[in-house]
Amino acid sequence: MRNLPFLSVARSSAGWVLAAIVGSLMGCSVAPVLEEPTKASPSTPPPRVEQGPMPPLIMQANSRWVPVPWSELPGLHTDALNEAWPAWLQSCARPSKAWAPLCPQIRQLASASAPQQRQWILENLQPYRVESHTQQSEGLLTAYYEPVLNATRQVSPGFKVPLYAPPGNLNHRKPWYTRQEMETQAQARAALRGKELVYLADPVDAMVLHIQGSGLVNVREPNGDQRMVRLAFAATNEQPYKSIGRWLLDQNLIRDASWPGIKAWIDRNPSRVNELLWQNPRVVFFKEESLPVGSVPPGPKGAQGVPLTAERSIAVDRNSIPYGTPVWLKSSGPLSKLDRLVLAQDTGSAIVGAVRADYYAGSGQAAGEFAGRMKQTLQLWALWPR
């Protein structure tokens, strides 16, 4: 499931991966961020495709899809499509009825050249500009990521902040206890006893993990062994998400509600950390997933039920774009210029609207820094079988 930006978003999906920390702290190998796509050789002519009569408009619950010629898609002939193909293969592991007939061909093209992949797309798919029902074609792009943290299996010096599995009585009370009540009320603390999965060193890191919805955790076991596990989204306390960045802005305590701005305030005001974190009553409960030893772990599972691919998976409003849909994404801003093929594989409770996406930046610090500042204008084109 996707994550929430601290300022504006909250995530909840099958993999609760929420809006990024600007996205994230303001709304899943550490993947390189901000790499420019490989450029096609200037001597290679762009592939040609016969464009027949345009198909009719497609109406979705929260969007309308307007058929357009391929020439409308920016960067179509320069994107390194082979980098998007692994994400497409993941979607083909759980294809919808519309995509199941094409997935054998998509699998066969996994080892093909980018020009061959591009030609197949041009010949078999139709691009549609995604708009709101009021014909607005510009929206908002944020980003999210998967934190990588250190933890211990038991309370130890410096590691005293628990992350919990769902309590047994979670469904007996809706919404369940707030973040503050979980830390201060005897009934809530009793219900959580024995549900501790790991202990972190920093309550702010725990908040980040709650917002992002999943994370990689390097756990020190009681016998001293270290192992990497994934803590994946299992449930929430059903409390509303409240942005701590928004609270700081409303209190006139900061002017920069990006993650660096929030963290700078925390560093100056360590005695007010609980007051700040209690402004967001929403808490995520986790489940532990083992990871293959000695290999780069796959991304966390998104709402489609498949692992996410860094820089090629997005979270969307499923009432605007169905899961598994290949999407052409365009976003330009001070942080990054993105013209590329991505796959709609996740969602989030704050990812709502026709032209709204959350870009999965990957795992680790570099991805987190990128996600924490990503907030740019967005255009989307859905690619659909002819």
DSSP string for residues in 15-51: T-EES-BTBTB----PPP-SPPPPPPPTTSPPP----
The partner residues of 200 in beta bridges, in order of sequence, read 161
Find the domain containing 157 and state its range. 145-290
Q: Which amino acid is at 95?
A: P
Residue 322 inside a domain? The answer is no
- If one counts the domains in the chain, the total is 1
Q: What is the CATH number of the domain that holds 235?
A: 2.40.240.50
Residue at 161 is within a domain: yes
pLDDT in tens, 74-84: 999 999 999 99
What does the DSSP 8-state code read for residue 55? P
CB 163 within 8 A of CB 206: yes
- 213 assigned to some structural domain: yes
Asked whether residue 80 is assigned to any structural domain, the reply reads: no
Q: Tell me if 162 is assigned to some domain.
A: yes
Distance CA 247, CA 254 (A): 9
Does a structural domain hold residue 386? Answer: no
Place of tokens 């762009």: 46
Q: Strand, coil or helix: what is 385?
A: strand
Write down the pLDDT at residue 35. 37
Question: 162 with 199: CB under 8 angstroms?
Answer: yes
pLDDT < 70: residue spans in the chain = 1-51, 294-295
The residue behind tokens 């992949």 is 117
| pLDDT at residue 349, as a whole number | 76
SS3 content of the chain, % helix, strand, coil (to 5): 25, 30, 45
